């Protein structure tokens, strides 16, 4: 266990356990609980482990001296290999980078909201019932943007279009009609991304 890479690998495994714990309970375990769950024999071993993770930016301390996630705690591996939806790709490649989901999907946190999608009027653009869209809240959009619009105090997600001098809201499903608002409607925000879980 003196080999540096072996020690590092063990830390990464135990960091994974801390991340799983946090995902379940939205907090980090006490040192005592950590000692039992991570199978570390002494408080000194736990203390050194926590110190290493703090140095690497995975853990931090709150002003009240409670252990909290650090800046890198929510990083996830980003493979440098793609997965093909057609022909095959090499199964595994060493390397890659680390990113947070926020870093990848959220460009402007102060104006970003996550909105669940209900219905399938945008299915041909791959936005399905049950998906969550990432929306930058702003009242202006460009033609061709996917927008969340407000009509009669109700949300709808469509592509912003124009017919003659009037804005229209275009679905991505032939079973739905183009919406041609008779009165003014509002743009709540522009869709910048989406995600779903299975």
- Residue 122: its pLDDT value, please? 96
Burial state string for 97-118 with b = 16 or more CB within 10 A and e = fewer than 16: eeeeeeeebbeeeeebeebebe
Do 152 and 169 sit in the same domain of this protein?
Answer: yes
Do 69 and 117 sit in the same domain of this protein?
Answer: no
User: The domain spanning residue 115 has which CATH number?
Assistant: 2.10.109.10
158 is catalytic: yes
Domain closes at, from 17, 50, 73: 73
Domain range holding 95?
76-105
Query: Among 174, 119, 168, 178, which residue's Cα sits nearest to residue 144?
Result: 168
- Give the residue carrying structure tokens 């890479």: 5
Q: How many CB atoms lie under 10 A from the CB of residue 53?
A: 21
- Residue 36: its pLDDT value, please? 85
Do 138 and 66 sit in the same domain of this protein?
Answer: no
Phi, psi of 193 (to 5 degrees): 180, 180
If one counts the domains in the chain, the total is 3
Do 120 and 177 sit in the same domain of this protein?
Answer: yes
Who wins on pLDDT, 89 or 147?
147
Do 179 and 118 sit in the same domain of this protein?
Answer: yes
Do 118 and 191 sit in the same domain of this protein?
Answer: yes
Cα(124)–Cα(117) distance, integer angstroms: 14
Please identify which of the residues 71, 93, 108, 121 carries the catalytic annotation: 121
Cα(61)–Cα(129) distance, integer angstroms: 40
Decide if pLDDT at 4 tops 60: no
Please identify which of the residues 158, 162, 164, 197 carries the catalytic annotation: 158
Domain closes at, from 88, 105, 122: 105
Do 114 and 189 sit in the same domain of this protein?
Answer: yes
Decide if pLDDT at 2 tops 60: no
Q: How many CB atoms lie under 10 A from the CB of residue 182?
A: 7
Do 8 and 47 sit in the same domain of this protein?
Answer: yes
- Residue 90: its pLDDT value, please? 58
Q: What is the pLDDT of residues 75-123, one digit of tens each?
A: 887 766 666 666 555 555 555 677 788 878 888 888 999 999 999 999 9
Do 154 and 82 sit in the same domain of this protein?
Answer: no
Phi, psi of 17 (to 5 degrees): -65, -40
Decide if pLDDT at 7 tops 70: no
Do 117 and 101 sit in the same domain of this protein?
Answer: no
121 is catalytic: yes
Do 50 and 126 sit in the same domain of this protein?
Answer: no
Query: Token pair of 127, please?
Result: 């936005």
Output the CA angle 147-149-154, nearest 5 degrees: 145
Do 166 and 125 sit in the same domain of this protein?
Answer: yes
């Amino acid at each position: 266990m003196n080999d540096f890479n072996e020690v590092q690998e063990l830390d990464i495994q135990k960091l994974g356990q801390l991340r799983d714990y946090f995902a379940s309970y939205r907090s980090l375990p006490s040192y005592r609980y950590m000692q039992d769950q991570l199978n570390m024999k002494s408080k000194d071993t736990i203390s050194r482990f926590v110190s290493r993770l703090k140095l690497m930016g995975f853990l931090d301390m709150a002003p009240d001296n409670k252990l909290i996630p650090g800046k890198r705690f929510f990083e996830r591996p980003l493979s440098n290999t793609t997965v093909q939806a057609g022909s095959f790709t090499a199964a595994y490649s060493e390397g890659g980078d680390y990113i947070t989901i926020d870093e990848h999907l959220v460009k402007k946190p102060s104006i970003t909201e996550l909105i669940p999608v209900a219905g399938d009027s945008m299915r041909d653009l791959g936005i399905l019932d049950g998906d969550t869209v990432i929306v930058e809240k702003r009242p202006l959009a460009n033609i061709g943007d996917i927008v969340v619009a407000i009509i009669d105090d109700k949300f709808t997600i469509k592509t912003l279009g124009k017919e003659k001098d009037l804005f229209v809201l275009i679905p991505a499903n032939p079973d739905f009609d183009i919406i041609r608002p008779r009165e003014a409607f509002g743009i709540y925000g522009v869709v910048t991304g989406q995600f779903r879980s299975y």
